Amino acid sequence: MQLAKRRIYNSLLSLSLIVVLLLILDFYGTPVYRMQVWSGWILLSLIVFLLLYNVRKKLTMLPLGRVAFWMQCHAYLGLVSGVIFLQHINFRVPSGYFECLLALAFIATAATGIIGLILSRIIPKFLTRRGEEVIFERIPLHTATLRVQAQALIIDCAETTKSEVLFEYYQQHLATYFFGPQNVLYHLSGSTTPWHHMLIKHQTFCRFLSDKEQEYADQLQTLMKQKDDLDFHYALQGMLKAWPFLHFPLSFVLFIFSLLHIVLVYAFIGDI
């Protein structure tokens, strides 16, 4: 199925599910407390199912359907759970500290999930269109390789031209740049300002070079660009890898809080 068609199909299916669940709640939901009990249990079931996605990801060796299918279910049922959550809290800010905390846990989990989904749709396109394809864990290795190449270039230049000007320039302006990831926040915000500043500085410096030194400076600029692309991949791939570390713990916190909430509800529900 085409992705656009799939998106429409899944959205319609989710919408239908929301309508059906709301109708059920409306039908069985009098008095109000009964509706909240029903919506609570539905919500817990949905949270458990959403948590199962992570379990499925670990059990890739079992024929339990493709993870991509589970991911679709996870995303769209996440959306459904958001509506049921609003219904459960009766579209009001909950009263009581624990209930507020629980609602915040839900909102935070949902928000990180939505942000993560948006990031995972946007960032890959940027990564594809810039620099070489690199594996995140190997970025330090590539950085070290570029550093070694740059240093070798500088030394070669000094030996060939008997001039230390490029060496000094490297030491002052580029040694730190080639040492590790740089300008992470700029790359995350999509800004190329640091690179342009560096380029202007480099071009200004090049005005004072001999033809031979210029050849080395041009090669150095190529390495600088490669390093900039590497930093870009580090920042964006790092972001893609980092956000689940926010979403997963929050979802477990939400699950634990939900269980506590049920215990408290049934402890104090009384004879109603």
Partner 1 sequence: MIEKEKWWDPNMSSQEMDEILSLALFKDIDAAKFPVQSSLSTIIYKHTRLLNYLEGEVIIRAGDYGNSAFLIVAGNVGVILPTTVPQGIFGTAVKQPTNWFKEIAKLWRNPSYPEVRPLKQTISDTVVIHTDDDRTRVFIQNFSSVVEQIQEVIINLSAGDMVGEIAALTRTPRTAHVIASSDCLLLEIRWQAIHALRKYNDEFRKRIDALYRKNSLDALRTLPIFSRLEKHEQDNLISHTLFESYGEFDWHENYKDEVDQDRSSLLKHETLIVDEGDYADGLLLINSGVARVSHHYNHGYRIIKYLNKGDGFGLRTIIHNWKNHDNSPLPVSLHAVGYTNVMRVPSHIIEALVLPRMTAEEIDILLVERKNTYLAKMDYTRELRLADGMLDFMSDFRYINGSASMLIDLDRCIRCDECVNACAVGHNNNPRFNRHGRRYDHFMVANACMHCHDPVCMIGCPTGAIYREPDGQVAINDNTCIGCSTCANSCPYENIKMVQVRNAEGEFRQDAMSLRQVVKASKCDLCVGQLDGPACQRACPHDALKRIDLFELSTLIKEVE
Indicate the residue among 56 and 147 with the shorter CB distance to partner 1: 56
CA distance 115 to 136: 21
Exposure string of 104-132, with b = 16+ CB inside 10 Å and e = fewer, is ebbebbbebbeebbeeeeebeeeeeeebe
CA distance 217 to 203: 9
Q: Is 57 in the site for partner 1 (CB under 8 A)?
A: yes
Single residue of 30, 31, 60, 207 touching partner 1 by CB under 8 A: 60
**Site size for partner 1 (CB under 8 A):** 27
CB atoms closer than 10 angstroms to residue 187: 25
Q: Is 237 in the site for partner 1 (CB under 8 A)?
A: yes
CA distance 88 to 37: 8
Indicate the residue among 69 and 179 with the shorter CB distance to partner 1: 69
Tell me the closest approach of the beta carbon of residue 118 to partner 1, in angstroms: 12
Single residue of 63, 96, 190, 270 touching partner 1 by CB under 8 A: 63
Per-residue string for binding with partner 1, 124-153, x by CB under 8 A? xx-xxx---x-xx-----------------
What are 151's two structure tokens?
Answer: 């240093």
- Give the dihedral sign, CA 111/116/186/138: positive
**Piece of the chain touching partner 1 by CB under 8 A; list 60-68, 89-97, 189-197, 216-224:** 60-68
End-to-end CA distance of the chain: 50
Residue 43's H or E segment, with its range, is helix 32-58
Indicate the residue among 94 and 244 with the shorter CB distance to partner 1: 244
Interface positions, 94-123, toward partner 1 (CB under 8 A): 120, 123
Judged by the rule CB under 8 A, the positions of this chain that interact with partner 1 are: 2-3, 57-63, 66-68, 70-71, 120, 123-125, 127-129, 133, 135-136, 237, 240-241
